[in-house]
Chain A
Amino acid sequence: MAWIDVKNLISKYKRYSGETGQMEENTALADVSLSIERGDFVGILGRNGSGKSTLARHLAALLLPGQGQVWVGGLTSSDPESVVAIRKMAGLIFQNPDNQIIGNLVEEEVAFGPENLGLPPDEIDRRITRVLETTGMQAYRLASPNALSGGQKQKIAISGVLAMEPECIIFDEPTAMIDPESRDELLKAVYELNKKKKITIIYITHFFEEVENADYLYLMDGGKVADMGNPREFTDSPQRLKALGIGLPFSALLKEEFGAEDTGEHFFGISGQEPREEGLRFQDVSFRYADQEEAGFALLHVDLTVRPGEFTAIIGPTGSGKSTLIKHMNALLTPTEGKIFFRGKDVSEAGFSKKELRTRVGLCFQIPDYQLFEETVIGDIAFGPSNMGFPKEECLAKARRAMELMGLPKDLEGVSPFSLSGGQKRRVAIAGILAMEPDYLVLDEPGAGMDWEGRKALYETLHTLNEENGITILVVSHNMNEVAEHARRLIVMREGQICMDGTPREVFSRREEIKACGLKLPDAAAWYLEHLDEFREHDSVGEGQYLPVTVRELARLLKECGVKEIS
């Protein structure tokens, strides 16, 4: 028997269904069998709702099997006597760092597990010192977890699990809610735990890139193990990933694009004439939070014009002022200094209605759960128009139109928004803004937490809104590949200022500045620069003259250079 052995595991749960109005039994895991050897690094991939998290909870003996069995280190979780022993052997790191930290100080947090095990105080103290050294968080021993970044919080959560000296740690999408700058660092720490401390790692994610160095992968779909193999096999036959809704790694994407017929179309081409209207204009805007005077300005001398019809992305490291900037666009915040004009009118003037501005410039935040509250989807979406004072019938008509725009099926109308999946919630939230029929749609991290298919579909919808409905789109994003592919203009923020503004190619060509901002290049640009020497011999390619920023551009460039094959 393998160290971890899951045999014919079936997991069912009951939940309230908004569609039928009754409790329904759902199957989260339908006959899962898998085995994991001691010391392995195993990746578990799958789209949202494929049963990954349920499996994680079973492996950590937090859910107990109704049918089938879970064996960990020779113990089965079906035996009530073994449950605590399994929990001690197999630690679990959850998605949201805030919801798993119990202690008010880092030290207390790390001590929590050992305290539950009933260890003597001096042993707990030794363990705290040791694990904080392993995760490199010694300096924060007496800090409050609230003062730490998302990545640091996850490291504290890992320290807390390590202090129990587990043999195995299960990571359930640990990077989903942390800033991308700390993602690589966290990943490195996880791989080191496996290599140096010989801890068995089970890493659940929907990003293939995060587990491409794993020993082997299990791919889940519809509550079953649908495929397995080592990462190499999947990079060689990417259709196996695609079939299960998992985004391809860059190398596979490039090969695919390279092999595809050239359609000759210009990808999301630059739209025709320059619009005359100036739209939204920031004039020397500075802003300082009233309760954080000592922290200085969150925005400093920002000059910016967003014209109708743009598809623009705002990028920049965490804390660079992106959120503060977009909150000025619909007057949730008003400038400390400087002025904002909407269609030539000063927004701060007494006659200007903030409410009117908020309906013209729709702002949709990252977490849909912060705005959903009504009993039905349609009622929730109609909330915006009803605040604008439209009669009920008209509100519903607007809400229906918004649902159609967001591709939400009609039969979801009467469903409770709380019973929807994450991706659908996000669409309902955006529809709730669209129902106000704004001319500008500003979205904060629209793809965060969604799987590859969900993100792709969402961006397609945004392009339709932009191109067919003439809605100006502004997105804040951390994903450089995404912004390079979709946006026509990039605004780069750094320390409260706009440090670059231009097309993706213009911006990413300024490599030194991108690096100084703590940002990365899109994969295609990075790959091209790395292989630049190999293309020198082909004429017409000069450094920085034509920097490909998307996979498609890169593939076309390679073909033009006469490259026959990509290894």
Chain B
Amino acid sequence: MFRNVTLGQYYKEDSVIHRLDPRVKLFGTLMYVITLFFPKNPAGLALAAAFLSLVIGLSKVPVGRMLRGLRPLFIIILLTAVMNLCFTEGQVLASFGPVHITREGLYLSAYLVVRIIFLVMGSSVMTYTTTAKELTDGIEKALGFLKVIRLPVHEFAMMMSIALRFIPILTEELNKIMEAQMARGIDFEEGNVLERARKLIPILVPLFVAAIRRANDLALAMEARCYHGGEGRTKLHPLSYQKRDYMAYGILILYALTMLGLSLRLRFTI
């Protein structure tokens, strides 16, 4: 059932954004998310929107697909909007009983909604254009300096990569275990909370036993192929910056400075 699910939402395409070094994309996403919180005015948000549209356009990921990614967040966005709309103090525009809609509330909720949407879309550009492997490689290399203070960066990246490989397998295993126990007459839909919690035992025990066995096998298989940690290890696709990556860094910094400038200038003039 879950066999063909690749984790994450990678969209296969050959665009300049896809080809960027994952470190650039990580940095860019971080930068974009931080600067989203600078502007308190429409001009800043307009720039953020323009930049986002430019990047999405370059990435060749269909906009419809990106918008669909927002669907699970609909409730959160709606709640944020309603809460801010109803409970912000200021100049009252309309009242419904105890609830007052204020001018400030209207602005604030509009800002927040736009920001959440930009934030989610901005970071999904990265997940749409970067494979899980590139991402873990990028994190491993970008955080490589932490090895100096003895943080196991390579091991962490390897763990992430193995987890990505085994999540679909374990999900399928979970399904099979549930079916096997249902065939023995267990009914997950009856009983109170405590009884239902107890019914997890026949599911979780086989799942853990199987996972531990897999982990053992995998460790042996890795050793059999001479795995001995990150030291002395090479990579099939080593990360190295190209000209386009430096250009992208330049553009990103320029964008961040402009955002900063916009918010500072407006703060002075208001």
Q: For A387, what are the chain B residues with a Cβ–Cβ distance below 8 Å? A: 184-187
The listed residue (B162, B217, B236) touching A107 by CB distance below 8 A is B236
Binds B, one of A93-101, A131-139, A209-217: A93-101
Expressed in whole angstroms, the minimum distance between the Cβ of B233 and any Cβ of chain A is 5
3 residue pairs, one from A and one from B, having the closest CB atoms: A387-B185, A100-B221, A99-B217
Quick one: which of A62, A112, A118, A358 contacts B185, CB cutoff 8 A?
Answer: A358
Is B228 touching A373 in the complex (CB atoms < 8 A)? Answer: no
Chain B interfacial residues counted at CB < 8 A? 51
The residues of B that contact A118 with a CB separation of less than 8 Å are 232-234
Kindly report which residue of chain A lies nearest to residue B161, judged by CB atoms: A104
Instruction: Pick from B180, B217, B218, B235: contact of A371, CB below 8 A.
Output: B180
Enumerate chain A residues within 8 angstroms of B131, measured Cβ to Cβ: 104-105
Bound CA–CA A292/B4 (angstroms): 11
- Report Cα–Cα, A57/B181, bound state, in Å: 34
- Identify which of residues 156-211 in chain B touch chain A, using a CB-to-CB cut-off of 8 Å: 161-162, 164-165, 168-169, 173, 176-177, 179-187, 201-202, 205-206, 209-210
In the assembled complex, how far is the CB of residue B180 from the closest CB belonging to chain A, in whole angstroms? 4
Residues of B within 8 A of A128 (CB): 236
Q: Are B220 and A62 in touch, CB under 8 angstroms?
A: yes
Q: How many A-B residue pairs have CB under 8 A?
A: 159
For B222, what are the chain A residues with a Cβ–Cβ distance below 8 Å?
Answer: 102, 112
Using CB atoms, name the residue of chain A closest to B164.
Answer: A104
Residue contacts A-B, CB under 8 angstroms, 17 given: A84-B228, A87-B226, A100-B221, A102-B218, A108-B236, A114-B234, A115-B236, A116-B228, A118-B232, A124-B236, A128-B236, A146-B168, A147-B3, A359-B185, A367-B176, A373-B202, A387-B184
A113/B184 in contact, CB under 8 A = no
* Closest beta carbon of chain B to A383's beta carbon, Å: 6
Please give, as numbers and ranges, the residues of chain A lying within 8 Å of B210 by CB-CB distance.
Answer: 369-370
| Structural contact, A370 and B226, CB atoms closer than 8 A | no
The docked-state distance in angstroms from the alpha carbon of A408 to that of B222 is 38
Interface residues of B in 203-249 (CB under 8 A from A): 205-206, 209-210, 213-214, 217-218, 220-228, 232-238
- Check A327/B226 contact, CB under 8 A, given A100-B221, A104-B132, A146-B168: no
How close is B65's CB to chain A, nearest CB, in angstroms? Answer: 17
The CA of A121 and the CA of B161, in the complex, are separated in Å by 20
What are the residues of chain A within 8 A of B233 when measuring CB–CB? 115-116, 118
A332 touches B182 (CB 8 A): yes
Chain B residue nearest in CB terms to A109:
B165
Interface majority SS (helix, strand, loop, mixed), chain B: helix
Contact of A289 with B by CB under 8 A: yes
Query: Does the CB pair A364–B183 fall under 8 Å?
Result: yes
Q: Is B6 an interface residue (CB 8 A)?
A: yes
User: B133 within 8 Å of A by Cβ?
Assistant: yes
CB distance from B243 to the nearest CB of A (A): 20
Q: A62-B220, A160-B225, A387-B186 are in contact. List 7 more A-B contacts (CB 8 A).
A: A87-B226, A121-B238, A144-B4, A147-B3, A330-B183, A332-B179, A362-B183
- Alpha-carbon distance between A111 and B165 when the two chains are bound, in angstroms: 15
Across the interface, A91 reaches (CB within 8 A) one of B132, B179, B186, B224, namely: B224
- In the bound complex, residues from chain A placing their C-beta under 8 Å from that of B182 are 332, 358
Question: With a CB–CB cut-off of 8 A, which chain A residues contact B75?
Answer: none
- Nearest chain B residue, comparing its CB with the CB of A119: B234
A410 to chain B, nearest CB (A): 22
CA distance A436 to B173 in the complex (A): 24
Whether A57 pairs with B220 at a CB distance below 8 angstroms is yes
| Residues of A contacting B220 in the complex (Cβ-Cβ under 8 angstroms) | 57, 62, 94
B1 contacts partner chain A, Cβ-Cβ < 8 Å: yes
- Chain A interface residues toward B at CB < 8 A: 57, 60, 62, 84, 87-88, 91-92, 94, 96, 98-105, 107-108, 111-121, 124-125, 128, 144-147, 160-161, 164, 289, 291-292, 327, 330, 332, 355, 358-359, 362-365, 367, 369-373, 383-384, 387-388, 418, 432-433, 436
**Contact status of A115 and B209, CB under 8 A, knowing A100-B221, A104-B133, A358-B185:** no
Contacts of A99 in B (CB 8 A): 213-214, 217-218, 221
Q: Using Cβ atoms and an 8 Å threshold, which residues of chain B touch A102?
A: 161-162, 165, 218, 221-222
Report the Cα distance A112→B179, complex, angstroms: 35
What mask results when residues 59 to 101 of chain B are scored 1 for a CB within 8 Å of chain A, else 0? 0000000000000000000000000000000000000000000
State whether A370 touches B225 (Cβ < 8 A): no
Query: Is B185 a contact of A121 with CB atoms below 8 Å?
Result: no
Choice from B1, B185, B226 contacting A88 with Cβ under 8 Å: B226
Q: Which residues of B contact A358 (CB under 8 A)?
A: 182-185
Asked if B214 contacts A355 (CB within 8 A), the reply is no
Query: How far is A62 from B224 in the complex, measured between Cα atoms in Å?
Result: 6
> Is B238's CB under 8 angstroms from A100's CB?
no
Closest to B5 in A: A146
Which residues of chain B are within 8 angstroms of A355 by Cβ–Cβ distance? 185, 187
Complex contacts, B201 vs chain A, CB 8 Å = 373
Determine the distance from Cα of A458 to Cα of B262 in the docked complex, in whole angstroms: 78
Q: Are B224 and A332 in contact (CB under 8 A)?
A: no
A370 with B161: CB separation less than 8 A:
no
Which of these, A88, A125, A144, A332, contacts B236 with CB under 8 Å?
Answer: A125
Given the contacts A105-B133, A355-B187, A432-B184, A96 and B202 also touching, CB distance less than 8 Å:
no
Tell me the minimal C-beta distance from B169 to chain A in angstroms.
6
Nearest CB in chain B to that of A331: its residue = B182
Contact B238 A365 (CB under 8 A): no
With most chain A CB atoms within 10 A of its CB, the pick from B161, B176, B209, B221 is B221
Q: Chain A residues with Cβ under 8 A from B226's Cβ?
A: 84, 87-88, 113, 116-117, 164
CB nearest neighbor in B for A326: B183
- Indicate whether A433 sits within 8 Å of B184 (C-beta atoms), given known contacts A87-B226, A108-B133, A115-B235: yes
A326–B131 Cα gap in the complex (Å)?
38
Q: Give the shortest distance, in Å, between B125 (CB) and chain A (any CB).
A: 21
- Are A365 and B236 in contact, CB atoms less than 8 angstroms apart? no
| Minimal Cβ-Cβ distance residue in A for B168 | A146
Judge whether B165 and A94 touch: CB under 8 Å.
no
**A160 surroundings in chain B (CB, below 8 A):** 225
User: A388 to B187, alpha carbons, bound, how many Å?
Assistant: 10
Which of B164, B224, B237 is most buried by chain A, counting CB atoms within 10 A of its CB? B224
